[in-house]
Structure 1
Amino acid sequence: MIILIGSQKGGSDKSTTAVNISAWLVTMAPSNPIVNETQEAKEYLSDYPEITLLKTIIRDRKVYRDEMSAGLGVTEMTKYKAKNEFQMLVNKVLK
């Protein structure tokens, strides 16, 4: 999955609202290093120079489902890989 990160601008009417896209983010990327889907997506998107792809990748991790069912947020997770991915994303977006 690829998510757009940007800012909203436009008129008060929702039909005239536009989004100024700053970057794209790959999410739900396989955490298994044998699966090449993430690299394939990056190679595909490299054909479009107008797309700025963030280096941060959010992987599909079981811990997200486990912690969510326990009522915990990303910053409360005990699995550091998942927590670090989101911290890197927040740092990049707020930079």
Structure 2
Amino acid sequence: MGDKLGISPATLRGCGGAASSITDSETEFSKSITKAIKDTGDAAGTLTSWAFGTALQSCHDDWGKALKAMKTRLAKSGDLLRETANGHEWNDQKIYDTFTGVREQ
């Protein structure tokens, strides 16, 4: 079964890097999220006496939490993909060492 799951450590690292780079505060994605949260909060603040202002504030609060959680999850996924790549390489090396008779000193 392992031969059918051939995901290279380089591919895992690449995916991990992509996931982490999305959450970098300098990317367009990150800037767009930050701007959307700020602008919605600003708009809600100017409409506090209107019923719509309360609804907009609720939207700001809920989406702000969800988008921040998504960024956190993407960053963690990037870390875990890189850790998985390291684990694959470590395991592959141990298997190679075992079959070639290499022993740790």
Which TM bucket (shorter chain)?
Answer: under 0.3
- Greater relative contact order, per chain length (Cα 8 Å cut-off, separation 6+): 2
Normalised by the size of structure 1, how large is the TM-score?
0.28
Q: Which has the larger radius of gyration?
A: 2
Structure with the higher helix share, 1 or 2: 2
Structure with the higher strand share, 1 or 2: 1
